[in-house]
């Protein structure tokens, strides 16, 4: 079939997704999916994109997620020899290959980028790391060792995802909206951002911070609490410096035992001293 624009693809993806198992083995369904995968990989289509008219500043293209799921439904298992490991995976999601002309640095040692993921020029991936299908990683971002960029997650420019940082997607676990990390964010080691959370530009997540829809975030400088609502995800403000903290249990047996529960705390907003401490990755380029 002829190449379709993103506007043309949406009704085609919705049609074949609605067919369920009847789409399996249909060459037209596979052709539509491949066009979607190629558009995601080229960065001309995204699962979420900036939109100043939207309440969160982002418009989620939910049909793209359904297209990603369609690819799994249509795929058959096949053996894959990638030069390092022997794998068995869906034939619809092979591992991406890169060339020096793309100016994307995939450091030797066992990282994988799945087909349908977009990496912009200047991106560095340090092994072992994994970038799942539908993800969008913008210019000059660093994905450090043992980091995960989940399916359809949106990563901005000059973002540093430190060692063992986990950015959840719409497939792990399945969620309506992808995680969005805006420009110039530093996510420290062993941080986790899940369930559609939006981290605004220039925020800093200190080591060990975990953010989910059910996580209240206490903003000490502004004396307020940020929570997700049924309509909007958890949103971390621009420039916020978030650390892992705790709050005392106020009732019942937990109070009697003097126990506390984990909570993220905004202790300040980014300043020149913070900027100096987050510039070390420039030495790696």
Q: What is the pLDDT of residues 85-96, one digit of tens each?
A: 788 999 999 999
Per-residue pLDDT tens over the stretch 29-86: 999 999 999 999 999 999 999 999 999 999 999 999 999 999 999 999 999 877 667 8
What pLDDT shows up at residue 281?
Answer: 53
**List of residues 6+ apart from 143 with CB closer than 8 A:** 111, 123, 124, 125, 126, 129, 131, 137, 149, 155, 161
Can you give the residue range of the structural domain that contains 224?
Answer: 78-284
Looking at residue 87, its pLDDT comes to 87
User: Do 59 and 182 sit in the same domain of this protein?
Assistant: no
Tell which residue, 212, 171, 210, has the closest CA to residue 189. Answer: 210
Q: Does residue 130 lie within any of the structural domains? A: yes
Nearby residues of 82 by Cβ (< 8 Å), 6 or more positions away: 95, 112
- Give the separation between CA 185 and CA 206, rounded to whole angstroms: 11
Question: Is 51 among the domain residues?
Answer: yes
Let me know if residue 92 belongs to a domain: yes
Please count the structural domains in the chain.
Answer: 2
Specify whether 224 is located in the same domain as 241: yes
Write the CATH number for 265.
Answer: 2.160.10.10
The neighbouring-strand residues paired with 248 are 260
Q: Beta 154-155 vs 160-161: how paired, if at all? A: unpaired
* Torsions phi, psi for 121 (to 5 deg): -55, 140
Residue 111: CB atoms within 10 A of its CB come to 19
Domain boundary among 37, 58, 75: 75
Instruction: Check whether residue 31 and residue 12 sit in a common domain.
Output: yes
Range from 7-16, 52-61, 201-210, 272-281 carrying the lowest mean pLDDT: 272-281
pLDDT band at 134 (very low <50, low <70, confident <90, very high): very high
Together in a domain, 101 and 18: no
Q: Distances from the Cα of 120 to the Cαs of 70, 161, 170, 176, 210, in angstroms?
A: 25, 15, 21, 25, 27
Which CATH number does the domain housing residue 34 bear?
1.10.166.10
Q: Are residues 25 and 113 in the same domain?
A: no
The Cα 185–Cα 160 span in angstroms is 6
Question: Is residue 1 domain-resident?
Answer: no
Residues 55 and 133 in one domain: no
Last residue of a domain, one of 75, 106, 126: 75
My answer on whether 143 and 265 are in the same domain is: yes
Do 130 and 256 belong together in one domain?
A: yes
19 and 121 share a domain?
no
* Residue (of 231, 214, 227, 216) closest to 265 by Cα position: 216
User: Which of 75, 92, 125 is the last residue before a domain boundary?
Assistant: 75
Distance CA 96, CA 269 (A): 38
Same domain for 229 and 106, yes or no, is yes
Q: Are 205 and 217 in contact (CB under 8 A)?
A: no
Tell me the pLDDT of the chain averaged across its residues: 92
Residue 264 inside a domain? The answer is: yes
pLDDT of residue 83: 67
In a domain, 233, yes or no: yes
Q: Which of 158, 140, 139, 162 is nearest to 149 (CA)?
A: 162
Structural contact between residues 218 and 244, judged by C-beta atoms closer than 8 angstroms:
no
Query: In whole angstroms, what is the distance from residue 145 CA to residue 152 CA?
Result: 20
CB atoms within 10 A of CB 179: 29
Looking at residue 110, its pLDDT comes to 86
190 and 106 in a common domain: yes
pLDDT digits (tens, 9 = 90+) for 136-188: 999 999 999 999 999 999 999 999 999 999 999 987 545 578 999 999 999 99
* 43 and 118 inside one domain: no
Going 38 to 192 to 164 to 276, the CA torsion angle's sign is positive
Task: Check residue 285 and give its pLDDT.
Answer: 57
């Amino acid at each position: 079939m002829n190449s379709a624009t993103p506007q043309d693809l949406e009704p085609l993806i919705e049609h074949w997704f609605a067919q369920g198992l009847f789409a399996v083995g249909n060459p037209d369904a596979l052709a539509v999916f491949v066009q979607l995968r190629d558009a995601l990989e080229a960065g001309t289509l995204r699962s979420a994109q900036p939109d100043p008219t939207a309440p969160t500043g982002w418009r989620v293209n939910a049909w793209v997620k359904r297209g990603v799921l369609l690819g799994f439904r249509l795929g058959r298992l096949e053996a894959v020899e990638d030069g390092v490991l022997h794998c068995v995976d869906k034939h619809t999601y092979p591992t991406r290959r890169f060339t020096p002309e793309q100016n994307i640095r995939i450091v030797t040692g066992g990282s994988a980028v799945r087909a349908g993921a977009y990496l912009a020029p200047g991106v560095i991936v340090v092994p072992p790391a994994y970038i799942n299908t539908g993800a969008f990683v913008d210019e000059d971002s660093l994905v450090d060792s043992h980091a995960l960029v989940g399916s359809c997650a949106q990563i901005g420019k000059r973002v540093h995802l430190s060692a063992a940082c986990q950015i959840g997607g719409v497939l792990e676990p399945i969620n309506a909206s992808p995680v969005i990390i805006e420009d110039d964010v530093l996510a420290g080691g062993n941080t986790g951002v899940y369930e559609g959370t939006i981290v605004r530009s220039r925020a800093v997540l200190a080591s060990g911070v975990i953010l989910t829809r059910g996580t209240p975030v206490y903003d000490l400088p502004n004396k307020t609490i940020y929570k997700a609502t049924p309509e909007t995800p958890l949103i971390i403000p621009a420039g916020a410096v978030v650390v892992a903290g705790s709050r005392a249990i106020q009732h019942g047996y937990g109070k009697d035992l003097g126990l506390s529960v984990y909570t993220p705390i905004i202790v300040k907003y980014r300043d020149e001293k913070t900027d100096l401490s987050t510039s070390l990755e420039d030495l790696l380029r």
